Amino acid sequence: MLLKNAGKNGNHQYKYQQIYKGIKEQILEGDLQTNEKLPSKRKLASQLRVSVNSVTNAYEQLLAEGYIYSIERKGYYVEQITKFTDKDLTSRKLPDDLKEQTSDKEGWLSFSHMTSDISKFPFDTWIKSKQKAISNHKTELSEIANSQGPYLVRKTISRLIKLNRGVICEPEQIVIGSGTQLLIQQLMNTLQSTSDIDTVIAIENPGYSRFYNLLKKMNLDVKPIQLNKDGIDIKKVESSGAKFVIVTPSHQFPTGKIMPISRRIELLNWTSQSTNRYIIEDDYDSEFKYKTDNIPSLQSLDRSNRVIYTGTFSKTLLPSFRISYMVLPSDLLKVYKKQNADLIHSSNTLSLYTLHYFIEDGEYGKHLKKMNNHYEVKRKVLIEKLRNRFGTRIHIEDVPAGLHFFATFQTKKSYSEIEERAEMNKLEVYTLKRFLLTNERDNENEKSLVIGFASIEVEKMEEAVERLYQIISN
Ligand SMILES: Cc1ncc(COP(=O)(O)O)c(C=O)c1O
Protein backbone atom coordinates (compact mmCIF):
# COMPACT_ATOMS: atom_id res chain seq x y z
CA MET A 1 0.00 0.00 0.00
CA LEU A 2 2.64 2.45 1.05
CA LEU A 3 4.18 4.42 -1.81
CA LYS A 4 1.67 3.33 -4.40
CA ASN A 5 2.87 6.11 -6.74
CA ALA A 6 6.40 6.58 -5.56
CA GLY A 7 9.12 5.90 -8.04
CA LYS A 8 6.73 5.43 -10.95
CA ASN A 9 5.66 8.75 -12.38
CA GLY A 10 7.44 12.02 -13.00
CA ASN A 11 10.17 11.13 -15.45
CA HIS A 12 12.01 14.39 -14.83
CA GLN A 13 12.07 14.05 -11.06
CA TYR A 14 14.86 12.74 -8.89
CA LYS A 15 14.07 9.52 -7.06
CA TYR A 16 13.84 11.25 -3.71
CA GLN A 17 11.33 13.73 -5.16
CA GLN A 18 9.16 10.87 -6.40
CA ILE A 19 9.27 9.20 -2.99
CA TYR A 20 8.51 12.50 -1.24
CA LYS A 21 5.57 13.19 -3.54
CA GLY A 22 4.14 9.69 -3.15
CA ILE A 23 4.19 9.83 0.64
CA LYS A 24 2.84 13.40 0.71
CA GLU A 25 -0.14 12.46 -1.45
CA GLN A 26 -0.97 9.47 0.71
CA ILE A 27 -0.86 11.61 3.84
CA LEU A 28 -3.12 14.25 2.27
CA GLU A 29 -5.56 11.64 0.94
CA GLY A 30 -5.72 9.96 4.37
CA ASP A 31 -4.20 6.68 3.13
CA LEU A 32 -1.56 7.17 5.78
CA GLN A 33 -3.10 7.89 9.16
CA THR A 34 -2.01 10.39 11.80
CA ASN A 35 0.76 8.91 13.99
CA GLU A 36 1.20 5.94 11.66
CA LYS A 37 4.82 4.80 11.59
CA LEU A 38 6.66 5.01 8.27
CA PRO A 39 8.96 2.13 7.26
CA SER A 40 12.60 2.52 8.24
CA LYS A 41 14.79 4.16 5.62
CA ARG A 42 16.65 0.95 4.96
CA LYS A 43 13.48 -1.11 4.55
CA LEU A 44 11.84 1.38 2.22
CA ALA A 45 15.03 1.73 0.19
CA SER A 46 15.22 -2.00 -0.41
CA GLN A 47 11.45 -2.21 -1.09
CA LEU A 48 11.75 0.49 -3.76
CA ARG A 49 15.18 -0.55 -4.98
CA VAL A 50 16.64 2.86 -4.41
CA SER A 51 19.54 4.10 -2.29
CA VAL A 52 19.08 4.86 1.42
CA ASN A 53 20.18 8.39 0.56
CA SER A 54 17.15 8.90 -1.67
CA VAL A 55 14.79 7.86 1.13
CA THR A 56 16.71 10.02 3.64
CA ASN A 57 16.34 13.06 1.40
CA ALA A 58 12.61 12.42 0.92
CA TYR A 59 12.03 12.03 4.69
CA GLU A 60 14.07 15.21 5.40
CA GLN A 61 11.88 17.18 3.00
CA LEU A 62 8.65 15.80 4.52
CA LEU A 63 10.01 16.62 7.97
CA ALA A 64 10.91 20.18 6.94
CA GLU A 65 7.43 20.78 5.55
CA GLY A 66 5.70 19.35 8.60
CA TYR A 67 4.12 16.22 7.07
CA ILE A 68 5.97 13.86 9.39
CA TYR A 69 7.78 13.95 12.74
CA SER A 70 10.60 11.85 14.08
CA ILE A 71 11.21 10.21 17.45
CA GLU A 72 14.82 9.54 18.22
CA ARG A 73 15.87 5.94 17.83
CA LYS A 74 12.26 4.97 16.98
CA GLY A 75 11.60 6.34 13.52
CA TYR A 76 9.31 8.60 11.49
CA TYR A 77 5.55 9.11 12.02
CA VAL A 78 2.74 10.88 10.19
CA GLU A 79 1.87 14.30 11.62
CA GLN A 80 -1.67 15.39 12.36
CA ILE A 81 -2.49 17.52 9.30
CA THR A 82 -5.21 20.16 9.36
CA LYS A 83 -7.87 19.40 6.76
CA PHE A 84 -8.77 21.96 4.05
CA THR A 85 -12.30 23.29 4.55
CA ASP A 86 -12.59 23.91 0.80
CA LYS A 87 -11.95 20.74 -1.17
CA ASP A 88 -12.92 22.19 -4.51
CA LEU A 89 -9.97 23.24 -6.66
CA THR A 90 -12.01 24.73 -9.54
CA SER A 91 -11.78 28.28 -8.12
CA ARG A 92 -8.02 28.13 -8.86
CA LYS A 93 -8.74 28.09 -12.58
CA LEU A 94 -8.22 31.47 -14.27
CA PRO A 95 -11.58 32.73 -15.61
CA ASP A 96 -11.73 32.88 -19.41
CA ASP A 97 -12.16 36.68 -19.47
CA LEU A 98 -8.76 37.03 -17.76
CA LYS A 99 -6.97 34.82 -20.29
CA GLU A 100 -4.71 36.84 -22.56
CA GLN A 101 -4.78 36.37 -26.31
CA THR A 102 -1.26 36.32 -27.66
CA SER A 103 -1.55 39.26 -30.02
CA ASP A 104 -0.85 38.50 -33.61
CA LYS A 105 0.65 41.65 -35.14
CA GLU A 106 1.18 40.02 -38.52
CA GLY A 107 0.11 42.40 -41.28
CA TRP A 108 -0.60 45.31 -38.93
CA LEU A 109 0.65 48.85 -39.58
CA SER A 110 0.91 51.42 -36.83
CA PHE A 111 0.35 55.13 -36.35
CA SER A 112 0.95 54.76 -32.62
CA HIS A 113 2.36 57.76 -30.76
CA MET A 114 3.88 55.49 -28.11
CA THR A 115 6.67 54.01 -30.21
CA SER A 116 10.14 54.90 -31.46
CA ASP A 117 12.04 53.63 -34.50
CA ILE A 118 13.89 50.51 -33.41
CA SER A 119 15.44 50.02 -36.87
CA LYS A 120 17.77 52.95 -36.18
CA PHE A 121 18.70 52.11 -32.61
CA PRO A 122 22.49 51.68 -32.19
CA PHE A 123 22.45 48.39 -30.31
CA ASP A 124 26.20 47.90 -30.89
CA THR A 125 27.15 51.04 -28.99
CA TRP A 126 24.47 50.41 -26.35
CA ILE A 127 26.03 46.98 -25.73
CA LYS A 128 29.51 48.56 -25.49
CA SER A 129 28.16 50.97 -22.87
CA LYS A 130 26.63 48.03 -21.06
CA GLN A 131 29.96 46.20 -21.04
CA LYS A 132 31.60 49.30 -19.58
CA ALA A 133 28.89 49.49 -16.93
CA ILE A 134 29.52 45.86 -15.96
CA SER A 135 33.32 46.29 -15.82
CA ASN A 136 33.27 49.52 -13.84
CA HIS A 137 30.38 49.00 -11.43
CA LYS A 138 30.59 45.46 -10.05
CA THR A 139 30.08 46.68 -6.49
CA GLU A 140 27.08 48.84 -7.33
CA LEU A 141 25.53 46.03 -9.37
CA SER A 142 25.69 43.72 -6.38
CA GLU A 143 23.75 46.17 -4.22
CA ILE A 144 20.40 47.90 -4.17
CA ALA A 145 20.74 51.41 -5.61
CA ASN A 146 19.93 54.67 -3.86
CA SER A 147 16.15 55.04 -3.73
CA GLN A 148 16.29 57.89 -6.27
CA GLY A 149 18.70 56.02 -8.57
CA PRO A 150 22.54 55.93 -8.58
CA TYR A 151 24.05 59.37 -7.89
CA LEU A 152 26.44 59.15 -10.84
CA VAL A 153 23.56 58.57 -13.26
CA ARG A 154 21.54 61.41 -11.73
CA LYS A 155 24.56 63.66 -12.15
CA THR A 156 24.79 62.73 -15.82
CA ILE A 157 21.06 63.32 -16.35
CA SER A 158 21.24 66.69 -14.56
CA ARG A 159 24.06 67.77 -16.91
CA LEU A 160 22.19 66.50 -19.96
CA ILE A 161 18.92 68.28 -19.20
CA LYS A 162 20.73 71.48 -18.31
CA LEU A 163 22.38 71.41 -21.71
CA ASN A 164 19.40 70.25 -23.77
CA ARG A 165 16.47 71.70 -21.87
CA GLY A 166 17.89 74.45 -19.69
CA VAL A 167 16.66 72.60 -16.59
CA ILE A 168 18.37 73.98 -13.50
CA CYS A 169 18.83 71.30 -10.85
CA GLU A 170 21.24 69.37 -8.66
CA PRO A 171 21.54 65.57 -9.01
CA GLU A 172 19.98 65.39 -5.52
CA GLN A 173 16.69 66.68 -6.95
CA ILE A 174 16.36 63.92 -9.53
CA VAL A 175 14.27 60.80 -8.94
CA ILE A 176 14.73 58.10 -11.59
CA GLY A 177 11.93 55.59 -12.07
CA SER A 178 10.61 53.07 -14.54
CA GLY A 179 7.96 55.30 -16.16
CA THR A 180 6.61 58.82 -15.79
CA GLN A 181 3.25 57.46 -14.69
CA LEU A 182 4.89 55.56 -11.86
CA LEU A 183 6.85 58.63 -10.75
CA ILE A 184 3.76 60.83 -10.69
CA GLN A 185 1.91 58.16 -8.78
CA GLN A 186 4.74 57.98 -6.27
CA LEU A 187 4.82 61.74 -5.86
CA MET A 188 1.07 62.00 -5.40
CA ASN A 189 1.05 59.11 -2.93
CA THR A 190 3.70 60.95 -0.98
CA LEU A 191 1.77 64.20 -0.95
CA GLN A 192 -1.54 62.50 -0.13
CA SER A 193 0.00 61.15 3.03
CA THR A 194 0.96 64.63 4.25
CA SER A 195 -2.19 66.42 5.24
CA ASP A 196 -0.81 69.94 4.75
CA ILE A 197 -0.48 69.55 0.97
CA ASP A 198 -3.75 69.73 -0.92
CA THR A 199 -3.72 67.57 -4.06
CA VAL A 200 -6.47 68.96 -6.30
CA ILE A 201 -4.97 68.55 -9.78
CA ALA A 202 -5.80 70.40 -12.99
CA ILE A 203 -4.96 68.63 -16.25
CA GLU A 204 -5.11 69.66 -19.90
CA ASN A 205 -8.25 68.55 -21.77
CA PRO A 206 -7.72 66.96 -24.24
CA GLY A 207 -4.71 65.50 -22.48
CA TYR A 208 -2.74 62.40 -21.62
CA SER A 209 -5.55 60.14 -20.43
CA ARG A 210 -3.14 57.67 -18.84
CA PHE A 211 -2.28 60.30 -16.21
CA TYR A 212 -5.91 61.34 -15.80
CA ASN A 213 -7.18 57.79 -15.30
CA LEU A 214 -4.35 56.96 -12.92
CA LEU A 215 -4.99 59.99 -10.72
CA LYS A 216 -8.76 59.41 -10.72
CA LYS A 217 -8.19 55.83 -9.60
CA MET A 218 -6.08 57.18 -6.75
CA ASN A 219 -9.24 59.03 -5.67
CA LEU A 220 -7.62 62.38 -6.28
CA ASP A 221 -9.69 65.36 -7.28
CA VAL A 222 -8.66 65.78 -10.93
CA LYS A 223 -10.11 68.66 -12.94
CA PRO A 224 -9.90 68.54 -16.74
CA ILE A 225 -9.30 72.08 -18.02
CA GLN A 226 -10.13 73.18 -21.54
CA LEU A 227 -7.44 74.52 -23.82
CA ASN A 228 -7.70 77.78 -25.67
CA LYS A 229 -5.55 79.13 -28.47
CA ASP A 230 -2.36 79.29 -26.37
CA GLY A 231 -2.83 76.22 -24.23
CA ILE A 232 -4.41 75.54 -20.85
CA ASP A 233 -6.91 78.23 -19.83
CA ILE A 234 -5.40 79.90 -16.76
CA LYS A 235 -8.68 81.48 -15.62
CA LYS A 236 -10.24 78.01 -15.54
CA VAL A 237 -7.24 76.62 -13.67
CA GLU A 238 -7.67 79.44 -11.16
CA SER A 239 -11.39 78.79 -10.64
CA SER A 240 -10.89 75.00 -10.38
CA GLY A 241 -9.18 75.47 -7.00
CA ALA A 242 -6.27 73.29 -8.18
CA LYS A 243 -2.93 73.24 -6.39
CA PHE A 244 -1.21 71.23 -9.12
CA VAL A 245 -1.45 71.61 -12.86
CA ILE A 246 -0.10 69.05 -15.33
CA VAL A 247 0.95 70.54 -18.67
CA THR A 248 2.89 69.60 -21.81
CA PRO A 249 4.19 73.06 -22.88
CA SER A 250 6.85 71.85 -25.34
CA HIS A 251 4.38 69.87 -27.44
CA GLN A 252 0.85 69.76 -26.09
CA PHE A 253 -0.42 66.23 -25.95
CA PRO A 254 -2.36 65.43 -28.14
CA THR A 255 -2.85 68.65 -30.17
CA GLY A 256 0.88 69.25 -30.69
CA LYS A 257 0.83 72.99 -29.99
CA ILE A 258 3.82 74.72 -28.43
CA MET A 259 2.92 76.98 -25.50
CA PRO A 260 3.94 80.56 -26.23
CA ILE A 261 6.15 82.43 -23.77
CA SER A 262 3.33 84.63 -22.40
CA ARG A 263 1.19 81.65 -21.40
CA ARG A 264 4.28 80.09 -19.79
CA ILE A 265 4.85 83.21 -17.73
CA GLU A 266 1.14 83.41 -16.83
CA LEU A 267 1.31 79.82 -15.59
CA LEU A 268 4.40 80.54 -13.51
CA ASN A 269 2.71 83.66 -12.12
CA TRP A 270 -0.31 81.50 -11.17
CA THR A 271 1.96 79.54 -8.83
CA SER A 272 3.10 82.64 -6.99
CA GLN A 273 -0.42 83.90 -6.29
CA SER A 274 -0.99 81.38 -3.51
CA THR A 275 1.14 79.03 -1.42
CA ASN A 276 1.76 75.40 -2.33
CA ARG A 277 0.87 75.69 -6.00
CA TYR A 278 2.93 73.58 -8.40
CA ILE A 279 3.23 72.91 -12.11
CA ILE A 280 4.07 69.41 -13.36
CA GLU A 281 5.85 69.92 -16.67
CA ASP A 282 5.58 66.72 -18.71
CA ASP A 283 8.42 67.20 -21.20
CA TYR A 284 7.92 63.84 -22.88
CA ASP A 285 9.17 64.45 -26.45
CA SER A 286 10.78 67.90 -26.43
CA GLU A 287 14.09 66.61 -27.79
CA PHE A 288 12.55 66.51 -31.25
CA LYS A 289 12.23 69.91 -32.89
CA TYR A 290 12.49 70.28 -36.64
CA LYS A 291 13.35 73.63 -38.20
CA THR A 292 13.71 75.44 -34.84
CA ASP A 293 16.19 75.18 -32.02
CA ASN A 294 15.14 73.41 -28.88
CA ILE A 295 12.72 75.51 -26.85
CA PRO A 296 13.81 75.92 -23.22
CA SER A 297 11.70 74.17 -20.61
CA LEU A 298 9.22 75.88 -18.32
CA GLN A 299 11.39 74.76 -15.42
CA SER A 300 14.23 76.90 -16.79
CA LEU A 301 12.03 80.01 -16.47
CA ASP A 302 10.79 79.23 -12.98
CA ARG A 303 11.95 81.77 -10.39
CA SER A 304 10.22 80.41 -7.33
CA ASN A 305 10.85 76.66 -7.36
CA ARG A 306 7.33 75.68 -8.33
CA VAL A 307 7.94 73.37 -11.29
CA ILE A 308 8.20 69.60 -11.07
CA TYR A 309 9.89 68.60 -14.32
CA THR A 310 9.36 65.10 -15.77
CA GLY A 311 11.37 63.64 -18.63
CA THR A 312 11.72 60.26 -20.28
CA PHE A 313 14.08 58.24 -22.48
CA SER A 314 11.10 56.41 -24.00
CA LYS A 315 11.13 58.62 -27.09
CA THR A 316 14.84 59.30 -27.57
CA LEU A 317 15.90 55.70 -26.85
CA LEU A 318 13.27 52.95 -26.62
CA PRO A 319 10.00 52.90 -24.67
CA SER A 320 10.72 49.36 -23.45
CA PHE A 321 13.80 50.59 -21.54
CA ARG A 322 11.46 52.22 -19.03
CA ILE A 323 13.85 54.97 -17.94
CA SER A 324 12.15 58.18 -16.84
CA TYR A 325 12.87 60.79 -14.18
CA MET A 326 11.43 63.72 -12.33
CA VAL A 327 13.11 66.80 -10.89
CA LEU A 328 11.64 67.93 -7.60
CA PRO A 329 11.79 71.45 -6.17
CA SER A 330 13.58 71.45 -2.82
CA ASP A 331 10.48 71.74 -0.58
CA LEU A 332 8.82 68.73 -2.23
CA LEU A 333 12.13 66.87 -2.25
CA LYS A 334 12.25 67.20 1.52
CA VAL A 335 8.76 65.67 1.88
CA TYR A 336 9.52 63.02 -0.75
CA LYS A 337 12.73 61.89 0.96
CA LYS A 338 11.06 61.69 4.34
CA GLN A 339 8.06 59.69 3.13
CA ASN A 340 10.02 57.33 0.86
CA ALA A 341 12.97 56.51 3.08
CA ASP A 342 12.13 52.78 2.94
CA LEU A 343 11.44 52.65 -0.77
CA ILE A 344 13.61 50.34 -2.89
CA HIS A 345 14.53 51.82 -6.25
CA SER A 346 12.42 50.45 -9.13
CA SER A 347 14.79 50.66 -12.12
CA ASN A 348 17.39 48.23 -13.34
CA THR A 349 20.77 49.52 -12.15
CA LEU A 350 22.65 47.98 -15.07
CA SER A 351 20.45 49.84 -17.58
CA LEU A 352 21.03 53.07 -15.70
CA TYR A 353 24.84 52.77 -15.71
CA THR A 354 24.61 51.76 -19.38
CA LEU A 355 22.70 54.97 -20.02
CA HIS A 356 25.39 56.90 -18.12
CA TYR A 357 28.17 55.68 -20.45
CA PHE A 358 25.97 56.05 -23.51
CA ILE A 359 25.54 59.73 -22.65
CA GLU A 360 29.07 60.34 -21.36
CA ASP A 361 30.70 58.86 -24.47
CA GLY A 362 28.68 61.13 -26.75
CA GLU A 363 26.59 58.31 -28.22
CA TYR A 364 23.32 59.75 -26.96
CA GLY A 365 24.01 63.12 -28.59
CA LYS A 366 24.94 61.43 -31.86
CA HIS A 367 21.82 59.26 -31.79
CA LEU A 368 19.57 62.22 -31.02
CA LYS A 369 20.98 64.21 -33.91
CA LYS A 370 20.57 61.29 -36.28
CA MET A 371 17.00 60.65 -35.13
CA ASN A 372 16.04 64.32 -35.43
CA ASN A 373 17.03 64.22 -39.11
CA HIS A 374 15.41 60.83 -39.63
CA TYR A 375 12.10 61.77 -37.99
CA GLU A 376 12.01 65.11 -39.79
CA VAL A 377 12.06 63.28 -43.12
CA LYS A 378 9.50 60.69 -42.00
CA ARG A 379 7.15 63.36 -40.75
CA LYS A 380 7.40 65.31 -43.99
CA VAL A 381 6.79 62.27 -46.19
CA LEU A 382 3.79 61.13 -44.17
CA ILE A 383 2.18 64.58 -44.14
CA GLU A 384 2.65 64.81 -47.89
CA LYS A 385 1.10 61.39 -48.47
CA LEU A 386 -1.87 62.20 -46.25
CA ARG A 387 -2.47 65.52 -47.98
CA ASN A 388 -2.22 63.89 -51.39
CA ARG A 389 -4.76 61.23 -50.50
CA PHE A 390 -7.25 63.23 -48.44
CA GLY A 391 -6.94 66.59 -50.25
CA THR A 392 -9.20 69.21 -48.68
CA ARG A 393 -10.72 66.64 -46.32
CA ILE A 394 -7.74 66.76 -43.96
CA HIS A 395 -6.39 69.51 -41.74
CA ILE A 396 -3.02 68.90 -40.12
CA GLU A 397 -1.70 70.92 -37.18
CA ASP A 398 1.69 71.29 -38.77
CA VAL A 399 3.88 71.98 -35.74
CA PRO A 400 7.37 70.71 -36.56
CA ALA A 401 8.02 68.93 -33.26
CA GLY A 402 7.75 65.59 -31.49
CA LEU A 403 6.88 62.18 -32.78
CA HIS A 404 3.22 62.69 -33.63
CA PHE A 405 0.94 65.28 -35.19
CA PHE A 406 -2.73 66.03 -34.85
CA ALA A 407 -4.96 65.65 -37.88
CA THR A 408 -8.64 66.44 -38.37
CA PHE A 409 -10.62 64.66 -41.09
CA GLN A 410 -13.95 65.60 -42.62
CA THR A 411 -16.07 62.50 -42.10
CA LYS A 412 -19.50 61.50 -40.87
CA LYS A 413 -18.13 58.37 -39.25
CA SER A 414 -18.26 58.14 -35.47
CA TYR A 415 -15.16 57.54 -33.34
CA SER A 416 -16.27 54.02 -32.47
CA GLU A 417 -16.88 53.24 -36.15
CA ILE A 418 -13.38 54.50 -36.98
CA GLU A 419 -11.88 52.38 -34.19
CA GLU A 420 -13.76 49.25 -35.30
CA ARG A 421 -12.84 49.73 -38.94
CA ALA A 422 -9.20 50.36 -38.00
CA GLU A 423 -9.16 47.04 -36.14
CA MET A 424 -10.63 45.30 -39.20
CA ASN A 425 -8.10 46.96 -41.50
CA LYS A 426 -5.19 46.13 -39.17
CA LEU A 427 -4.18 49.74 -38.60
CA GLU A 428 -3.24 50.94 -35.12
CA VAL A 429 -4.66 54.45 -34.65
CA TYR A 430 -5.45 56.64 -31.66
CA THR A 431 -8.50 58.87 -31.94
CA LEU A 432 -9.03 62.12 -30.08
CA LYS A 433 -11.85 60.39 -28.18
CA ARG A 434 -9.27 58.54 -26.09
CA PHE A 435 -7.81 61.81 -24.89
CA LEU A 436 -10.99 63.77 -24.24
CA LEU A 437 -11.32 63.74 -20.49
CA THR A 438 -14.94 64.92 -20.35
CA ASN A 439 -18.03 63.73 -22.22
CA GLU A 440 -18.51 66.30 -24.92
CA ARG A 441 -20.68 65.88 -27.97
CA ASP A 442 -18.65 64.79 -30.97
CA ASN A 443 -18.58 67.05 -34.02
CA GLU A 444 -20.78 65.27 -36.57
CA ASN A 445 -18.76 66.33 -39.57
CA GLU A 446 -15.16 65.88 -38.49
CA LYS A 447 -13.00 63.62 -36.38
CA SER A 448 -9.43 64.04 -35.13
CA LEU A 449 -6.64 61.51 -34.86
CA VAL A 450 -3.22 61.50 -33.22
CA ILE A 451 -0.85 60.29 -35.91
CA GLY A 452 2.45 58.90 -34.68
CA PHE A 453 5.14 58.47 -37.31
CA ALA A 454 8.09 57.06 -35.36
CA SER A 455 7.77 53.35 -36.04
CA ILE A 456 6.11 53.18 -39.44
CA GLU A 457 8.59 52.48 -42.23
CA VAL A 458 8.64 55.01 -45.06
CA GLU A 459 8.02 52.22 -47.58
CA LYS A 460 4.84 51.21 -45.71
CA MET A 461 3.39 54.73 -45.44
CA GLU A 462 1.53 54.62 -48.73
CA GLU A 463 -0.23 51.43 -47.65
CA ALA A 464 -1.03 52.81 -44.18
CA VAL A 465 -2.47 56.02 -45.63
CA GLU A 466 -4.61 54.00 -48.02
CA ARG A 467 -5.94 51.89 -45.16
CA LEU A 468 -6.72 55.07 -43.23
CA TYR A 469 -8.53 56.44 -46.26
CA GLN A 470 -10.65 53.28 -46.50
CA ILE A 471 -11.41 53.49 -42.77
CA ILE A 472 -12.40 57.14 -42.73
CA SER A 473 -13.84 57.85 -46.14
CA ASN A 474 -15.76 54.83 -47.39
C1 LIG B 1 2.00 62.66 -23.13
C2 LIG B 1 3.00 61.71 -22.59
N3 LIG B 1 3.54 61.96 -21.40
C4 LIG B 1 4.45 61.13 -20.87
C5 LIG B 1 4.87 60.02 -21.53
C6 LIG B 1 5.98 59.24 -20.87
O7 LIG B 1 5.93 57.98 -20.75
P8 LIG B 1 6.97 57.04 -19.99
O9 LIG B 1 6.13 56.44 -18.89
O10 LIG B 1 7.37 56.06 -21.00
O11 LIG B 1 8.07 57.84 -19.43
C12 LIG B 1 4.33 59.69 -22.79
C13 LIG B 1 4.75 58.50 -23.51
O14 LIG B 1 4.41 58.21 -24.61
C15 LIG B 1 3.37 60.58 -23.33
O16 LIG B 1 2.81 60.34 -24.53
pTM: 0.90
pLDDT at 10: 45
Domain 122-361 sits in CATH at: 3.40.640.10
Residue 469 has φ and ψ, to the nearest 5°, of: -60, -45
CATH of domain 109-113+366-473: 3.90.1150.10
pLDDT on residue 35: 97
Nearest CA to ligand 1 atom 4: 284
- Residue 183 CA to ligand 1 centre (angstroms): 11
Beta-carbon contacts of residue 165 (< 8 Å; ≥ 6 apart): 283, 286, 294, 296, 297, 299, 300, 309, 311
Whether 452 lines ligand 1, by a CB cut-off of 6 Å, is: no
Atom of ligand 1 nearest to the CA of 208: 1
Q: Whose CA is nearest to atom 14 of ligand 1?
A: 114
Rounded distance from Cα 284 to ligand 1 centre (Å) = 6
> Can you give the residue ranges of every domain in the chain?
15-78, 109-113+366-473, 122-361
- Shortest-distance Cα residue to atom 3 of ligand 1: 284
Question: What atom in ligand 1 is closest to the CA of residue 312?
Answer: 11
pLDDT at residue 198 in the model: 66
What pLDDT is stored for residue 5 in this prediction?
47
If one counts every other C-beta atom within 10 angstroms of the C-beta of residue 145, the result is 20
Nearest to 340 by CA among 136, 193, 140: 193
Cβ of 314 closer than 6 Å to ligand 1, yes or no, is: yes
Check pocket membership of 180 for ligand 1, CB cut-off 6 A. yes
Residues 6+ apart with CB under 8 A from 301: 264, 265, 268
340-384 pLDDT, tens per residue? 989 999 999 999 999 999 999 999 999 999 999 999 999 999 999
Nearest atom within ligand 1 for CA of residue 114: 14
HSE value, Cβ hemisphere, 13 Å, CA-based, for 160: 26
- Please work out whether the CB of residue 400 comes within 6 Å of at least one atom of ligand 1: no
- Cα 474 to ligand 1 centre (Å): 33
Probe target for ligand 1 pocket from 111, 180, 321, with the most ligand atoms within 8 Å of CB: 180
Q: What CATH number does the domain located at 15-78 have? A: 1.10.10.10
pLDDT of the residue at 8 = 47
Whether the CB of 253 sits within 6 Å of ligand 1: yes
375 lines ligand 1 (CB under 6 A): no
Q: Atom 13 in ligand 1: which residue has the minimum CA distance?
A: 114
160-175: buried (b, 16+ CB within 10 Å) or exposed (e) per residue?
Answer: bbeebbebbbebebbb
pLDDT of residue 280: 98
d(CA 464, CA 426): 9
Distance 370 CA to ligand 1 centre (A): 21
Q: Which residues of the chain have pLDDT under 50?
A: 1-2, 4-10
Q: Ligand 1 in contact with 208 (CB < 6 A)?
A: yes
